[in-house]
């Protein structure tokens, strides 16, 4: 084998092995998240149902790479990506001593947490948008960090020292639930609701509601007076 092929072989073995291990760690982390959600549901479901039978707290498994945590009007959607990612040179982890010592540490698997309105999923309102609550990254050494909203933006960003476990999963889930519970759907201004298209009216009849998400309220046809 010539020198160039030898280099390709060595690089392929090193990077591919690292990425394969990162994928396995990501899948293990996803299962830990799933187990933690199930435990939280088992703790909350009965006492909440006893207090108000109309409030549902449940776990729903959709695929091997997606599950939902439903709590009344909100649903957290956990989705694992099957690929492994690198970061651009401006990202904060690329500037850490931890990564400088070993560039392979910056290869990470990805789990995303979205907040959807439960009705968006129940009525299959395909135009509704989910809100990204957090992006969880984990590497081949089981070190992790989280990009997120509110407390999730700073509680879990020590990539060098944080190793993932069930306690980490529990804390991330609790913070995600709290964020969703305090991020309420706001009614839009009256002026923005004066006009809807016939297509939107038909969609409302079909899907039991105007296309909706928390950040924009109802998605409506533009007011012609704004042109």
Task: Count structural domains, the chain.
Answer: 2
Same structural domain for residues 59 and 15? yes
* Domain span including residue 173: 3-181
Same structural domain for residues 152 and 212? no
Predicted confidence band at 7 (pLDDT cuts at 50, 70, 90)? confident
- Tokens 């201004």 locate to 189
Predicted confidence band at 216 (pLDDT cuts at 50, 70, 90)? very low
DSSP classification of residue 194:
S
Give CA separation, 30 vs 105, 148, 149, 178, in Å: 19, 17, 20, 20
Same structural domain for residues 26 and 91? yes
- Tokens 């979205």 locate to 114
Residue-level pLDDT at 127: 75
Tell me the DSSP string of 74-110.
EEEEEEEEEEEE---TTSGGGGSHHHHH-GGGG-EEE
Predicted confidence band at 212 (pLDDT cuts at 50, 70, 90)? low
Same structural domain for residues 147 and 202? no
Same structural domain for residues 131 and 202? no
Q: Is the separation of the CB atoms in 147 and 159 below 8 Å?
A: no
Write down the number of H helices and E strands in the chain: 5, 8
The tens digit of pLDDT for each residue in 61-108 reads: 999 999 999 998 999 999 999 999 999 999 999 999 999 999 999 999
Same structural domain for residues 130 and 199? no
Same structural domain for residues 82 and 110? yes
Boundary (domain end) residue, out of 181, 198, 214:
181
Same structural domain for residues 28 and 48? yes
DSSP classification of residue 182:
T
Same structural domain for residues 158 and 205? no
Separation CA 140–CA 104 (nearest Å): 8
Same structural domain for residues 107 and 203? no
The tens digit of pLDDT for each residue in 131-156 reads: 899 999 999 999 999 999 888 888 99
Same structural domain for residues 106 and 218? no
Q: Is the separation of the CB atoms in 38 and 47 below 8 Å?
A: no
Neighbouring CB atoms inside 10 A of 51's CB total 8
Same structural domain for residues 172 and 196? no
pTM: 0.83
Separation CA 151–CA 175 (nearest Å): 7
């Amino acid at each position: 084998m010539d020198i160039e092929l030898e280099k390709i072989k060595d690089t392929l073995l090193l990077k591919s092995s690292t990425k394969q291990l990162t994928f396995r760690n990501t899948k293990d982390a996803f299962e830990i998240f799933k187990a933690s959600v199930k435990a939280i549901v088992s703790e909350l479901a009965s006492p909440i149902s006893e207090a108000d039978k109309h409030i549902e707290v449940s776990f729903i498994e959709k695929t091997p790479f997606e599950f939902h945590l439903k709590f009344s009007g909100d649903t957290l959607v956990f989705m694992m990506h099957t690929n492994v990612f690198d970061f651009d040179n401006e990202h904060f982890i690329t500037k850490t001593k931890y990564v400088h010592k070993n560039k392979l540490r910056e290869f990470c698997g990805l789990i995303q947490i979205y907040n959807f309105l439960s009705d968006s999923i129940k009525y299959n309102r395909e135009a509704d948008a989910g809100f990204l609550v957090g992006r969880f990254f984990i590497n081949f050494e089981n070190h992790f960090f989280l990009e997120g909203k509110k407390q999730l933006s700073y509680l879990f960003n020590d990539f060098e020292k944080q190793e993932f476990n069930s306690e980490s999963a529990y804390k991330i889930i609790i913070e995600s639930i709290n964020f969703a519970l305090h991020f309420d759907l706001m009614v839009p201004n009256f002026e923005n609701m004066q006009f809807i298209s016939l297509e939107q009216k038909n969609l409302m009849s079909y899907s039991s509601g105007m296309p909706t998400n928390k950040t924009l309220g109802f998605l409506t046809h533009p007011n012609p007076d704004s042109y």
